[in-house]
Structure 1
Amino acid sequence: MLWDARRDWTFDVNLDQVRTFLLRDHTTLIGDLAKDWNSGPTGDFDHFVPMDYQFNFSLTNFEIKLYLNDFNIINQPLTLDENGQ
């Protein structure tokens, strides 16, 4: 095996009965993480190692709650009645 040979990474994620609450702060966090991963200087070609990432997600019996109201103020994300105003 060569030190700079191509590397294949496969991630299998299986989730059952998931209940997800997505707030605006979460989308900001995900965006900031993506910017951090893409920032910084690029590596030189002599040290380049090609990598192939494959992500496989399987969701069974899932529920996604997207919270949004007029002022985007979510005080209690688990209380549905409080956030519908």
Structure 2
Amino acid sequence: MPLPAAREPTLAQDDPNPTWKVGVEVDLATALALSRAATRALLELSPLAHREITAALEHEIKVLERQNDPLSLAAASAVRQYLPEAA
């Protein structure tokens, strides 16, 4: 998945705004990668851990869907796609 700022045709080297965008996107991509790795590790601990992680993911999906804004719904959809891997 390409980062949104990577699709911008021109990033002026003296413009701090694109630099800031790229920094935030790198932080977000790093946080997501660490989160996925932590979840995979927890799923491998035991059947109980697997069940609890799956339940937590299902709960987060419901919370995000209740918020009913585009960003929350997109996040819920992304988590839902990850859920079968956990199940």
Asked if Structure 1 and Structure 2 have the same fold, meaning a TM-score greater than 0.5 normalized by the shorter chain, the answer is no
Higher RCO (CA < 8 A, seq sep 6+):
1
Structure whose residues are more often helix by fraction? 2
Structure whose residues are more often strand by fraction? 1
With structure 1 as the length reference, what TM-score do the two structures score?
0.31
